[in-house]
Amino acid sequence: MTTTPGTVTTKGAPDPAAPATRHVLDHAHLPVMTLRESALANNTAVMQAYVERHGLLFAPHMKTHMAPALAARQVDAGAWGVTVASVQQAMVAWEHGVHRILVANEVLDPAGLAWLASRRAADSVADVLCYVDSPAGVEAARAAQAEVAGDLHVLVEVGFPGGRTGVRTAAAAHDVARAAHDAGLSLRGVSGYEGGLPGVDAARTYVEGVLAVAAAVRPLVDAPRALFSMGGSAWFDGVVDAVAARPDDLDVLLRSGAYLTHDDGFYAERTPFGRHPEEGSLVPAIEVWGRVTSCPEPGLALVAVGKRDISFDEGLPVVRSVRHTGPGPTPPVPDRRASGGPAVPVGRGAGDVVPVAPVPGAVTVARLDDQHCYLALADGAPGLTPGDVVVFGISHPCTVFDKWRQVVVLDDDETVLDTIATWF
C-alpha cells in the first residue's frame, strides 16, 4: 500500500501519515528531539523521594521544559506546584491546571502584577507568589494589588555580590520586608538562588546567611508558617545541609528543575546525586537525532543539526550513538553496547537501524552553525556515510527544549509512545 506523505508545519511534529506504532525513525522528519520514558520515570521518582526524605516542599522549575504534560507528571508525583521565571510562563501553568505557582523573579510590569494579584479571586485555593527586592518593586506590587482589589503574595529575594537579582545585605532585606508588610502585601518569607555560586561549599554558606535573614523577618510574616525557597539543579545538597536545623514553622520549597531530563554535560558533572550516590541517580533522557548530509573530506562529517536544534551554551553536544540506516556494507565497527563482552562487528542491510556506540573520543562535535553540526572523526570512528543518523546527548536541558514545539517520547526499544507540546 502506498502512503501519501504528510505535511509537517510544527517543529518536532511527527508525519501525520505515520502509523500509531512506529520506530522513531519511521516516517521521521529529522532532526527530532526525543525523551526516554524510562529515564523520565526514574528521575521523577528519585527526586520526589529525595525531597520527601529531607522534609521539603517541591516546585520544580517549569521553565526548563515548558511542557504542561511534563509538569503534570511532576505534580502527580507529589510536587507542591511549579516554579516559573515569568508571568507568561505562570499563565501557561495556570491554563493547564496548575494553580500553585512560584514566579522566581521580580515582576514590575503592571499587567503581570495585576494578573498575579487576581489569582485568588479566580481560585480561592490557588497559591501564586513572586519576588520583591526593592522599594520600587514593592510600590509597583501595591499599586497593582489596589487596582484589582486583589491579594499579592511575595517573597523577599536575597542575592549575593556579583550574582543576579536579590538584595545584597540583611539590612536591605529587612527594609524591603518591612515595606512589603506595611504596603499591605502578603509577605510570605524569603528566597534566594545558590546556583550561580562556584561550588557546594559556597552555596551552603550563602544559604545559611539567607536562612538567618528568614529568621530576622519572620515577625513580619502574618501567617502560621513562613516560606523559604532555594534550589538550582547543581548545589541543592548544600541547601539541604544548610536548612537541616530550620525552625519548625518554616517550610522549605526547593525549585530544582533540570533533574527531570538530566543531561550528558553540565548537570551530569554537577548533580548532587554524583556526590551522594546513596540518594539515588539520574539518567539522561534527552536525545536529538540528525542525519549525516555530507562527508566532504577525511575526518569530517556534517549532520543537519545546529544551534537552532540543540543546546550549546553550557557545552557542546556529545555523540551517543550512530545509526547506519542506508543500504550497503558497513565497515567493521565494534558494537560497544554490550558491557563486558567482546567487540562484535555489526552489519546493515536495506532499512536496518543499527546502533553503534563509538569509541570515546572517536566522534566529537567540533562546532555548530545554525543548521549544521561539524563532527570530527578520529581513529576508531564509525565509517559514516551520508544518510546515516547520529544521536546526540546534550548539555543544559533548558536551552534545548525552547527550540522545539513538539517532543517525541520513546520506549527503550525506541518505539514512539507519545508526542508532547512545549509552550514557549
Residue 315, in any domain of the structure = yes
Residue 343, in any domain of the structure = no
Regarding whether 287 and 213 lie in a shared domain, the answer is no
Regarding whether 66 and 187 lie in a shared domain, the answer is yes
Cα 421 to Cα 404: distance, rounded to the nearest angstrom: 8
Count: domains in the chain: 2
Residue 294, in any domain of the structure = yes
Work out the widest C-alpha separation in the chain, in whole angstroms: 77
| Domain closes at, from 219, 250, 265 | 265
Q: What is the pLDDT of residue 5?
A: 78
Question: Cell digits for 192?
Answer: 534566594
DSSP per-residue letters across 316-371: --EEEEEEE-SSS-----EE--STTSPPEE----TT--EEE-PPTTTEEEEEE-SS
Cα 141 to Cα 224: distance, rounded to the nearest angstrom: 23
Regarding whether 163 and 109 lie in a shared domain, the answer is yes
Regarding whether 303 and 210 lie in a shared domain, the answer is no
Task: For residue 160, give the nearest of 113, 134, 192, 115 by alpha carbon.
Answer: 192
Report which DSSP code applies to 145: H
Task: For residue 365, give the nearest of 315, 399, 331 by alpha carbon.
Answer: 315
Regarding whether 393 and 260 lie in a shared domain, the answer is no
| Domain closes at, from 265, 282, 311 | 265
Q: Please, are residues 91 and 101 in contact by the beta-carbon 8 Å criterion?
A: no
pTM for the model: 0.92
- Check which CATH number belongs to the domain holding 312 and give it: 2.40.37.20
Residue 336, classified by CB atoms within 10 Å of its CB into exposed (0-12), middle (13-18) or buried (19+), is: middle
Regarding whether 319 and 227 lie in a shared domain, the answer is no
Report which DSSP code applies to 224: S
Question: Cell digits for 424?
Answer: 514557549
Residue 342, in any domain of the structure = no
Residue 281, in any domain of the structure = yes
Cα 309 to Cα 5: distance, rounded to the nearest angstrom: 23
| Domain closes at, from 242, 265, 288 | 265
Residue 277, in any domain of the structure = yes
Q: Please, are residues 216 and 191 in contact by the beta-carbon 8 Å criterion?
A: no
Regarding whether 413 and 320 lie in a shared domain, the answer is yes
Q: What is the pLDDT of residue 3?
A: 65
Backbone region of residue 6 per phi and psi (left: phi > 0; alpha: psi in -120 to 50; beta: other values): beta
Residue 52, in any domain of the structure = yes
Cα 56 to Cα 335: distance, rounded to the nearest angstrom: 44
Regarding whether 187 and 79 lie in a shared domain, the answer is yes
Containing structural domain, residue 272? 1-37+266-337+348-424
Regarding whether 217 and 120 lie in a shared domain, the answer is yes
Q: Which phi and psi (to 5°) does residue 126 adopt?
A: -70, 155
Q: What is the pLDDT of residue 202?
A: 98
Regarding whether 301 and 205 lie in a shared domain, the answer is no
- Check which CATH number belongs to the domain holding 175 and give it: 3.20.20.10
Regarding whether 69 and 5 lie in a shared domain, the answer is no
Regarding whether 249 and 157 lie in a shared domain, the answer is yes
Give me the tens of pLDDT residue by residue for the chain, a chain 424 residues long. Answer: 556 777 888 999 988 888 989 999 999 999 999 999 999 999 999 999 999 999 999 999 999 999 999 999 999 999 999 999 999 999 999 999 999 999 999 999 999 999 999 999 999 999 999 999 999 999 999 999 999 999 999 999 999 999 999 999 999 999 999 999 999 999 999 999 999 999 999 999 999 999 999 999 999 999 999 999 999 999 999 999 999 999 999 999 999 999 999 999 999 999 999 999 999 999 999 999 999 999 999 999 999 999 999 999 999 999 999 999 865 444 433 333 333 333 333 333 323 567 898 888 999 999 999 999 999 999 888 899 999 999 999 999 999 999 999 999 999 999 999 999 999 9
CA angle 245, 251, 255 (to 5 degrees): 105
